[in-house]
Structure 1
């Protein structure tokens, strides 16, 4: 049970201005998990955790506030902060969890090095958050809507961390740096979105694409939905989302196709149609261009791993 004390809403870790050349994230744990409906125990961490909901729904209670999480959303759990995770969806939800520190300063040998044992708290172990002049601290925003690229990097990181092939630590570090920079850029995009009167419209379009990737999301239909000229929409969309509308739609469809290939028994044709491609051959060509292998080969490889 969480203690109702002032410590539960303070920031017990340190933020330090550090140049990017000193950012050297250490990965302590990386795994995909399926959790049944219900509440987990209250806990605190020594390190940082990124918890991404790949399927289902959950809620995290932290700082005396509830943070609802739907599939496609991610929450940052900072060190030393009391929190409780709860799976809301029946019969379970699926997650990707990555524990890390920014500077590689932690020596993690077991779970007690990541999760605080309240009978033996070690304040010096709480990880440092690296910050820069260019971005606000990552922990200023706890809930993120990561891009398809970030999800793919997380999946690659899990594979490298699990297989532990020679050089895996270096690859994991590089993937984690990609993830961190992308999330920091998301903060910037949020500020840009708030600074333009069309920001909420673009954000709503992005959410609509995420919710129904099979819909006709041509530039014309997107512009019509936003009541804008196509060229104007494309410029605003790229400024806020970081990529043109067509590329954003393609990335969302590819991410969903990857998930369905891994997690369902649907045929490749059914999956292609479900993510917006009526033609099987075109879907296969697009998938191979993104992934380097065909949908069938991807499914076979994913199940081997």
Structure 2
């Protein structure tokens, strides 16, 4: 079924002489997925829910911050349609020309300007997380300036937008580039965690959200990095652990299956034979027989 995507234009937001728009809105299920002809920075200031960005689905909560270039479609959804668990976000909108002017006028380092230029050219989004309320304070300041319109509010708004762009770049630079896996150290930590705790139940959505990438991006890039799918990697880690337990303990096959994350013993037996060519019992007998020679 074809998705309905609305196109939002800056004409409906920007006032003459004020090429910036800010609001604070409670998200609902009535909003359609939409794309726009301006840049949007959006910040989750209350609650939790989902953010649908193109073909990606990202779990969001207070502190999540997104840079959305022109052409990227998205929509927020709260956890529940009831008003008892609201999802509230700040939105900062401005034309791409303003972004280019600010990066030049404030003398941003080429690497910072290049990041946002690349995101725009490739229509890729960026997510970072605000752990120390820095972005929260910036958005509060910008919203106040925009609402009160005190003398000199536009230069202050521009300065705060620049601070926000620099802050997002710094957070991104520590976490890894958008649309790819985070820094190699973080990837290695993830792989090591899966091998160590292979009995846990992992989901792509939870892991990708933790690593600040979308589900589809994570799936594609994990395969490229690990040489196999995320599911295959988890299964291999579990089978390798079960092989160790079969040869180093007297646990039953059922106990080993449970300790490696499988409640369905028949499924475990089928998967083990698919991976090794032997059933768990045959593997144990063969391994122990070789060990006694």
Q: TM-score range by the shorter chain?
A: 0.3 to 0.5
Q: Tell me the TM-score normalised to structure 2 length.
A: 0.46
Larger radius of gyration: 2
